[in-house]
Copies of this chain bind each other. A is one copy, B any other.
């Protein structure tokens, strides 16, 4: 069970720039890129953040598209770790835009 209420989660999502969705105890973000190389660069940048935070997103990589899914497996729900990771990824997107 999440430590956050649905309202709290919604409020946190509204602070992000990117279009993060909350679905089935996960934060989900679909991203599209203009080339395979840019897709890979993003995977590697997200991975650096994941290593630094010791919290790892699920990444579905399909040519020029990535679907990120963040959750906390230990609790089977969203935790602050997921929002901290989402914020760093959100900032990364902002830097690139």
Contacts and interface: CB of A to CB of B under 8 A. Distances in A.
A61 B40 CA distance: 12
A33 interface: no
A30 to B, nearest CB: 14
A56 B50 CA distance: 24
Interface residues on A, range: 10 to 19
Q: How many copies does the complex hold?
A: 2
Contacts of A59: 59-62
A71 to B, nearest CB: 11
A59 B43 CA distance: 11
Contacts of A43: 40, 43, 61
A47 interface: yes
A62 B58 contact: yes
Contacts of A36: 47, 50-51, 56
